[in-house]
Structure 1
Amino acid sequence: MRILTVIPELGAGGAEVVAVTLTRAAADDGHEARIASAPGFRVAEILAAGIAHTTLPAVGRRPRDLARSVARLRRVPAPDLVHAHNPKAALLSRLAYGHRVPLLVTLHGVAGHELGAAVRILRWSADQVVVVSPHLREQLTGRGFPADRVTVIPNGVARLPSYPRRRARAELGIAPGETVALCPARLVDQKRHDLLVEAWAALATHDRPPLLLLAGDGPNRARIAAAVARHDLDDRVRLLGERADMPRLVAASDLLTLATDWEGLPIAVLEALGAGLPVVISEVPGIAHQFGDAVHAVRPGSAADLATGLRAVLGDAGRRDRLTARASAAFDQRFGAAPMIARYRALHSAMTGSSVRIPTTTGVSP
């Protein structure tokens, strides 16, 4: 079976991790797998795995780039199934192939003000929609999307490769005794890096705050750098840019934190759980249901509450140990890659009417 995955880009985002994981699993199952996307560092990864790639100019929303993306998709050998990630990829796919090819769309998350437009696009384009959390399903069906066309499949990831902590810190120029927090997220409004910087400033009023690593890039970089300088935190906050070395960053860190306004099911948190890394995250809709007491959740939108939560976790070794144990248990029970792959495999089969071989291994560690 020819399976084409369409995603706007192949960079550091969580949707990209899921797309690559599923595409590699499909290739290991013996399918002819291809990804179409704008360039990104993960393109080299899939090419090395023997997976074909078609380049799309699809990152932005300019009509000219969207039209060129549709034209390039039409030149791809006709697939038996298209798996698009998020609404823009769904729109491009349906415009390229009409209704001749089954279209599965995974919705990884959507801002509240964009929900109406997302539902309209998905109603028109998608044969079936996968959402990564029950909260997203409620959002879609609450706006009139047919419930029988929505399936909840939580994201899953392989455990990050182990990386020696001492080596990681030496390579990143971090002193052995330094306390380190990691925030891997695009520098966009949703991720609320402004709250993180304010929280670090609040921590600095009591003692020396931990070192904060901001791994990601985006349109808010200059604004965040200015806030860091304004709060005199240049030696406590590092803007690392887009990174492809999560195993090293996680190994060097004592805690992962996200201060987001909304989330679907963040891959960075799943990777932290798999590594046993304590997590402090905003308690936005869906987060408490997904992670329970495996993370320390704080009230969203409050730098003071975020600082309090960070201080509570970093200052209490027993609490960190409990979070580590719960994180590992939650990952083993719910968030490994194998259950996600199996459910998508069954959905692909149902949508195409094909009989899918179940291999003894998936090529992706559970």
Structure 2
Amino acid sequence: MRVLHVITGLRAGGAEQQLRLLLRHLPGHHRCEVAVLTAPGAVADGIRADGTPVHHLGMRGNRDAAVLPRLTVLVRRGRFDVVHTHLYRACLYGRLAARLAGVRAVVATEHSLLDGCIESRPATRGVRALYLAAERLGSTTVAVSDDVRDRLAAWGVPPHRLEVLPNGVDAARHVRPDAARAALRRTLRDRLGLPQEAHVVGAVGRLVPGKRFDVLVDALALLAARRPAGAAAPGREPWLLLVGDGPGRAALEARAHAAGVARRTVFAGERDDVPDLLTAVDVLAAPSDAETFGLAVLEGLAAGLPVRYGSCPALDRLPPGAAPGARRLPPDPAAYADALAAPAGHRPPPLPQPPAVHHYDIARTAAGLGALYDRVGAPRRPAPAPVRR
């Protein structure tokens, strides 16, 4: 079965990384290609390196309708059985192109839908109307969490067209022998400019206001202010490692300078090696108070880190005890400063992966998605001929 994934961009974001993981784990009889409308980035390079073709369609803006015939031709020539769209712009153009090319099996995944906004854009009446008009062109809309499914149903998407397939984490990639983990930790800290003995707080995500990484910058300043002068060597000071990029980077850098912690705040930029980078930190913080899933929290738990977070719908649906290493906090710098302070004594060993990580293993999600493709993309059987009497 041939499947074309259509996505708006392929910079290092949550939806983009999820696509790459799914492509790695889908059942082998699904032969996939990817069409990216605009902004191919590190994830596009990674997908190509994994062996999946990526087609860049060169879209110049939201209203660049010239992309539609190019995408339609790509779908038709590729003789794809299923078209799977990701992110708002790709869902609009991808569903329409699939229908124009004669593909009836059209799946869309809604990755980021919060109350009042979709993918950081206000969910105005016009945005909702356009979304629903395009949704009718598809076969199934996949929600990455129960919360997203409920919001889509409230918008007016018929429940029978909705299916929940949660985001997943590559649990196996985070498992390393102790010696290999320690060696990678030392190497990455040297490359990133992190002192080997520092207590490092890590955070992963797009640098946008909604992620509330400003809380961590302020918490770092509070931690520094609490340390008596000369109480410890500089290397034992708390540090912050921010993995990701986005329009909020300049404001965060300015905030770190103003707070006097710029020297101990490392901006790693857009990366596609998050499982490796997490070996270099001691605790993961995710202070956002509004998420559609909370993938960064699951990544931290898979890496054996204690996690302090503001919102994680993925954990809210699990029984108590599914993630003993995670603790919810209000988005307040003082609360995070208290929770992120270095523990007394030696650095504790990595925590075992909790049940929450195994529940959201990417292999389970990929198997569910493969079954969905097989169901919606199966050739229709001709109706039986009427029996003549």
Q: Could you say whether these structures have the same fold, taking a TM-score greater than 0.5 normalized by the shorter chain as the test?
A: yes
Tell me which residue corresponds to 1:274.
302
Tell me which residue corresponds to 1:225.
253
Deviations 1:121-175 (A, max 9, x none): 4432232111111111222222332111111112112233544222222332322
Q: 1:1-366 residue pairs with structure 2 within 5 A?
A: 1-26=1-26, 29-37=28-36, 38=38, 39-58=40-59, 61-64=61-64, 67-76=65-74, 77-98=78-99, 100-101=102-103, 102-115=105-118, 116=123, 119-124=128-133, 125=135, 126-158=138-170, 159-160=172-173, 162=176, 163=181, 164-207=184-227, 210-283=238-311, 287-289=315-317, 293-299=324-330, 301-311=331-341, 314-315=342-343, 324-325=351-352, 327-332=353-358, 334-353=359-378
**Separation in 2 of the partners of 1:306 and 1:120?**
40
Contact 1:4–1:83 (CA under 8 A) maintained in structure 2: yes
Q: Tell me the TM-score normalized by structure 1.
A: 0.84
Contact 1:131–1:150 (CA under 8 A) maintained in structure 2: yes
**Separation in 1 of the partners of 2:57 and 2:214?**
32
Contact 1:160–1:271 (CA under 8 A) maintained in structure 2: no
Q: 3-state SS of the aligned residue for 2:373?
A: helix
Which residue identity does 1:339 align to in structure 2? R
Identity of aligned pairs, percent?
32
Larger radius of gyration: 2
Deviation of 1:284 (Å): 5.7
Which residue identity does 2:355 align to in structure 1? A
**Separation in 1 of the partners of 2:85 and 2:201?**
33
Contact 1:57–1:68 (CA under 8 A) maintained in structure 2: no
Q: 3-state SS of the aligned residue for 1:98?
A: helix
**Separation in 1 of the partners of 2:66 and 2:210?**
29
**Separation in 2 of the partners of 1:317 and 1:285?**
34
Q: Which runs of 5+ in 1 are unaligned?
A: 356-366
Deviation of 1:114 (Å): 2.2
Which residue identity does 2:132 align to in structure 1? R
**Separation in 2 of the partners of 1:320 and 1:108?**
35
Q: Which runs of 5+ in 2 are unaligned?
A: 228-235, 381-389
**Separation in 2 of the partners of 1:169 and 1:191?**
24
Which residue identity does 2:63 align to in structure 1? P
Contact 2:198–2:237 (CA under 8 A) maintained in structure 1: no
**Separation in 1 of the partners of 2:323 and 2:185?**
28
Contact 2:286–2:296 (CA under 8 A) maintained in structure 1: no
**Separation in 2 of the partners of 1:349 and 1:83?**
13
The 3 A distance-change label for structure 1 pair 320 and 298 is farther
**Separation in 1 of the partners of 2:344 and 2:66?**
54
Deviation of 1:318 (Å): 11
**Separation in 2 of the partners of 1:119 and 1:62?**
16
Worse-matched range after superposition: 29-38 or 251-260: 29-38
